[in-house]
Amino acid sequence: MAEAEDFQTFTSIMDALVRISSNMKSMERELLCPVCKEIVKQPIVLPCLHNVCLLCASEVLVQHGYQVPDPVISEPSSPATSPNTRSPRQGRRPLPRTERLDRVVRSGYGTYPGRRRREGPPPSVLFPCPLCQHDIDLGERGLMDCLRNLTLERIVERYRHTISLGSPALMCQFCKPPTSQEATKGCIDCRASFCNECFKLYHPWGTPRAQHEYGGPTVSFRPKVLMCPEHDQEKVSFYCKTCQKLVCPLCKLRRIHAGHKISPVANAYQALKDKLTKGISYILANQETIQLQIKQLEDLVKQNEMNSTTAKDEAARAFQELSAALEERQAMVFQSLEESRHRKTDALSSQITERQSLLENAGLVAFTQEVLKETDHSCFVQIAKQIHNRMLKATESLQNFSPAADPSFRHFQLDISQELKLLSNLSFIKSPLAPVIDTQRTMAYDQLFLCWRLPVDSAPAWHFTVEFRRTEIRGGKVPRLWHRLEEVTGTSAVIDRLEVDSIYVLRVKGFNKAGFGEYSEEIYLHTPPAPVLNFFLDGRWGFHRDRLILNKDQRAVRSVPGIPLLQAAERALTSCHLTSDLLIGDVAVTQGRHYWACSVDPGSYLVKVGVGLESRLQEWFHMPQDVTSPRYDPDSGHDSGAEDATMDTPPPFSFLTVGMGKVLLPQGSNSASNATSPSAGLQHTRDHTTHSSPSLTVPLPPRLGVCLDFEKGRVSFYDAVSLRPLWEGPVDCSAPVCPAFCFIGGGALQVQELVANRIPDQQPRRVTIQSRVN
């Protein structure tokens, strides 16, 4: 029983040793110098936070033309020549003594010597870091500003001690060779290893050497603490978070660190230690997750191999189809050539036969010569007529000779330049590039209308996927869920069932045989503050056909007061003459909140957009609308609404004046007279010519929005593109209220058409909305 327990204990100890040794060996790649690819010796920390051997750094600088002192060769009694050194690097290059290395570093490794006065500052030393793959600026002092990494040295020492179990012990450096003893102590001040006898001999009692600090034997002696590179007697006791480097109290006072976040090194130690501890704890706690990720990556590697084989087979099949098509086309071309050859050969052969028949007429020639010897006229005429006909045919055939077929095949040449160009550009299909949103056509009204296009150099897309989500505009938290419209054909989409006064973000991506492409840039659209009111311009009453021209769909109107104005001006006492024409919508609002938009031509003289009581608007239409004199008294007996408006009673009309590419925003006490009734607007226009006005003007937006709150008796005007509020005022809502428009002089206006009515045939098929977390 005891033997079994001892064996179990021994097994557990060996497992622990094997596990520790395995962990240490797996850590070896963290201890390698990126230059020599061996375990670091006297490592220094570069500004990029990478570690490199001091000698390696100096050799690299020498290779790049920097002047550095010659490397210091270690003495024979140096611990670097101890047989305990296991690295083959030491057989190639001896390790310098530590005190000599410190002196070399402080003397300016990689720096230029002192300079004369009036000379410019020496150039910065650039070190090509093999890990960063670019040059690191070491400053003017070069390696002198690089601190030694004492922690890494301690880890290297523990690593060497762990993996070198059973190796020869470190020998005393002061014993004579035949009787060398094993070193038992290492003097940090002397920086050498001693046996017990030699330590007592070289550190006698009553001498300053007896006060030296000692520890275990080692081949690498380090300073007790990190000292400032610039101030030899100062310890680095602060950490600059801005520069991310250790500084001493004197460096802290320098101008270079003015305004930097500097904390005691103890605070930085604790903060970094906590972060590392949390990171290690998180990694150790997620070992199963890492294993799952490794398995997932391995599966992806397998899928990659399978998919590459499948893609290769598909490419081979495509080339085989091309070869088959080329062979089929080649057979058709060859067949056409052969048929043409046969036709031409037959035609030429028949012509040769005909020519040969002319040769057979040689007997006819001899016979004709004999006939010509006949002297009897009657007998000659009798036989010559028959011979003459045959002779004419032979002569005609000789004079009109031409080959029956052209032996050339010029019209059978193939032009394969385009095909060769296509074949030279033959490559794998690419997924579509990110679509470009058309901000001029994209809009939010009764529905969201999104329009886009593909870049010119993009691969074609089979269909598109539109994603959208609602964002909270008042600080609330909404789940980041994207809703999708899939398989959208064309380059536009309509999204309905939206919430009012909300901001929606939209994006789109294309799809083809290569898969989905990149997303377009996200675009934000603000829905109207109230449900959209759909109405038409009413031309049944109060409409002057000689002044206003209404289009067929009753959504656009144009004011042309030219001829009536000219005729009325002839009768006027002065040349000042204005015409005012009102036009209302065919819908009256009796409850709720409603929104609509319109676009005013920037070249319009004066156009008023707003709302008014339907009854008062009817009264206005029956009143004279021409003002022919600047002496016109606004208190002329008719009720325009402005005369009855008081501070307690809301006005029956509320208009916003637009003219000459500007929007007049009422301010102060004049707002009631400026944005209430059309007649008041006429008088207000004339008052502006002689009196200063506190009103402001802003550029006319592409579309002007109007929102009527019937219950509150308020009307608001917006920039319909950005939904930026322009002005808000009261209006009497004790009776039905209608949208109203007033023209003073020439102008044009168009009521915004519903998205659903404007593009009925281009609405994409709405599929099931899918949500996913971004």
**Strand 653-659 vs strand 714-719: parallel, antiparallel, or unpaired?**
unpaired
CA atoms of 390 and 364, how far apart (whole Å): 9
Angle at 170 between CA 166 and CA 171, to 5 degrees: 130
Over residues 670-679, mean pLDDT: 42
Strand partners, 704: 598, 719
DSSP state of 103: H
Q: How far is CA 86 from CA 39, 71, 83, 236, 464, in A?
A: 11, 22, 8, 34, 65
For the four alpha carbons of 758, 708, 621 and 587, in that order, the dihedral sign comes to positive
pLDDT for 103-150, tens place per residue?
A: 444 444 444 444 455 555 667 788 888 888 888 888 777 777 788 787
- Residue 769's pLDDT band, with cuts at 50, 70 and 90, is very low
pLDDT of residue 30: 80
How many other C-beta atoms are found inside a 10 Å radius of the C-beta of residue 308?
Answer: 10
pLDDT of residue 139: 78
Q: Which of 166-175, 313-322, 665-674 has the lowest mean pLDDT?
A: 665-674
pLDDT of residue 433: 93
- Helix, strand, coil percent values for the chain (each to nearest 5): 35, 20, 45
pLDDT of residue 685: 39
Query: What does the block give as tokens for 304?
Result: 């990659």
Over residues 242-257, mean pLDDT: 81
The answer to whether the beta carbons of residues 85 and 220 sit under 8 Å apart is no
Pick 672 or 734 by higher pLDDT: 734
Range with top average pLDDT, 105-119, 271-285, 432-446, 546-560: 432-446
Sequential DSSP letters for 460-529 = P-SEEEEEEEEE-SSS-----EEEEEEEE-SSEEEE-S--SS-EEEEEEEEEETTEE-PPPPPEEEE--S
For the four alpha carbons of 48, 52, 55 and 57, in that order, the dihedral sign comes to negative
CA atoms of 704 and 596, how far apart (whole Å): 9
Over residues 87-98, mean pLDDT: 41
Pick 279 or 671 by higher pLDDT: 279
**Strand 245-247 vs strand 238-240: parallel, antiparallel, or unpaired?**
antiparallel
SS3 741: strand
pLDDT of residue 1: 52
- Phi-psi map region of 698: left, alpha, beta (phi>0 left; psi -120 to 50 alpha): beta
Over residues 296-316, mean pLDDT: 90
Over residues 5-12, mean pLDDT: 58
Q: Which of 40, 161, 35, 165 is nearest to 95 (CA)?
A: 40
CA atoms of 633 and 637, how far apart (whole Å): 9
429-453 per-residue burial string, b: 16 or more CB within 10 A, e: under 16: eebbbbbebeeeebbbbbbbbbbbe
SS3 617: helix
Q: What are the backbone angles phi and psi of residue 510, rounded to the nearest 5°?
A: -100, 165
CA atoms of 686 and 679, how far apart (whole Å): 11
Q: Assess whether pLDDT exceeds 50 at residue 72.
A: no
Q: Which of 190-204, 260-274, 419-433, 629-643 has the lowest mean pLDDT?
A: 629-643
- Give the distance, in angstroms, between the CA of residue 749 and the centroid of all CA atoms in the same chain: 39
Instruction: Please state at what angle helix 98-106 crosses helix 54-63, rounded to 10 degrees.
Output: 40
**Strand 245-247 vs strand 262-264: parallel, antiparallel, or unpaired?**
unpaired
SS3 365: helix
pLDDT of residue 122: 64
pLDDT of residue 565: 60
The percent of residues in the chain predicted with pLDDT above 90, rounded, is 14
Q: How does the average pLDDT of the chain come out, rounded?
A: 75
- Residue 505's pLDDT band, with cuts at 50, 70 and 90, is very high
Run of H or E including 388: helix 377-399
pLDDT of residue 7: 54
pLDDT of residue 553: 84
pLDDT of residue 17: 53
* Residue 410, C-beta contacts closer than 8 angstroms, at least 6 positions apart: none
Pick 69 or 608 by higher pLDDT: 608
Q: Assess whether pLDDT exceeds 80 at residue 523.
A: yes
CA atoms of 30 and 32, how far apart (whole Å): 6
pLDDT of residue 511: 93
Q: List, in sequence order, every beta strand (DSSP E) within 39-84.
A: 43-45, 51-53
Instruction: Please state at what angle helix 377-399 crosses helix 362-371, rounded to 10 degrees.
Output: 150
Q: What are the backbone angles phi and psi of residue 271, rounded to the nearest 5°?
A: -65, -45
Over residues 392-404, mean pLDDT: 74
Q: Assess whether pLDDT exceeds 90 at residue 269.
A: no
pLDDT of residue 706: 94
pLDDT of residue 561: 66
SS3 543: coil
**Strand 245-247 vs strand 436-437: parallel, antiparallel, or unpaired?**
unpaired
pLDDT of residue 665: 87
Q: Which of 243-252, 294-303, 477-486 has the lowest mean pLDDT?
A: 477-486
pLDDT of residue 637: 36
- Residue 80's pLDDT band, with cuts at 50, 70 and 90, is very low
CA atoms of 294 and 300, how far apart (whole Å): 10
pLDDT of residue 23: 60
DSSP state of 611: E
Instruction: Please state at what angle helix 287-359 crosses helix 377-399, rounded to 10 degrees.
Output: 160
Query: What does the block give as tokens for 91?
Result: 């057989």
How many helices and strands (H and E) does the chain possess? 17, 34
Q: Assess whether pLDDT exceeds 60 at residue 549.
A: yes
How many other C-beta atoms are found inside a 10 Å radius of the C-beta of residue 238?
Answer: 20
Q: Assess whether pLDDT exceeds 60 at residue 478.
A: no
Q: Which of 638, 620, 583, 592 is nearest to 733 (CA)?
A: 592
The answer to whether the beta carbons of residues 487 and 473 sit under 8 Å apart is no
Query: What does the block give as tokens for 138?
Result: 């070491």
pLDDT for 165-186, tens place per residue?
A: 545 667 787 887 777 788 888 8
Pick 207 or 402 by higher pLDDT: 207
H helices of 592-693, in order, are 614-621, 671-674, 678-687
Q: How far is CA 699 from CA 302, 326, 609, 658, in A?
A: 62, 65, 15, 10
DSSP state of 534: P
The percent of residues in the chain predicted with pLDDT above 70, rounded, is 72
Query: What does the block give as tokens for 499?
Result: 């919430």
- Residue 81's pLDDT band, with cuts at 50, 70 and 90, is very low
For the four alpha carbons of 645, 647, 651 and 655, in that order, the dihedral sign comes to positive
Pick 234 or 390 by higher pLDDT: 234
Strand partners, 730: 714
- Residue 40's pLDDT band, with cuts at 50, 70 and 90, is confident
